[in-house]
Amino acid sequence: MNMNFNLFMNDVVRQARSEITSAGYTELKTADEVDAALNKPGTTLVMVNSVCGCAGGIARPAAAHAIHYDKRPDQLVTVFAGQDKDATAKAREYFTGFPPSSPSFALLKDGKLVRMVERHEIEGHEPMAVVNKLQDAFEENCEEM
């Protein structure tokens, strides 16, 4: 039974990863990749992915739809909580003042956090409400594409 559960979880993780990368986000799997990406000039949206069914099922579609906007981040990246632990821990070092939360979104500008959308702002909300939060942050902090 444990083997079947592991196979199931591998499928869930693979699907969750695929949803985000198909939307145009780059996976960061190591701490070095996180530092390199988050220290680039400009704006970066970090999606902290998660296998959490309820919140993840809202966050991933929101991540895909929010970027279809006149203003959007220069860079879209993702780390996977519970899977790529070093990368996720390194990304969270940039989210000063916020406890670990997954799924979640962080918008950084020149390596500094300007907006955080935490799990409690995702779970139990409609995907469009999360899209609106993200697009409001893009409006304030990003350039027109």
Any catalytic annotation for residue 54? Answer: yes
Active-site residue among 16, 48, 52, 64? 52
Compute the C-alpha angle 30/34/39, nearest 5°: 155
Any catalytic annotation for residue 52? Answer: yes
Is there a contact between 11 and 78 (Cβ–Cβ < 8 Å)?
Answer: no
Give residue for tokens 């966050």.
Answer: 59
- Name 12's Cβ contacts closer than 8 Å, sequence gap at least 6: 51
Q: Which residues pair with 79 in a beta bridge?
A: 48
Active-site residue among 54, 82, 136, 140? 54
Query: Of 11, 12, 8, whose CA–CA distance to 56 is shortest?
Result: 12
Count of CA atoms in the C-beta half-sphere (13 A) of 35: 5
Q: Which residues pair with 75 in a beta bridge?
A: 44
Catalytic positions: 52, 54
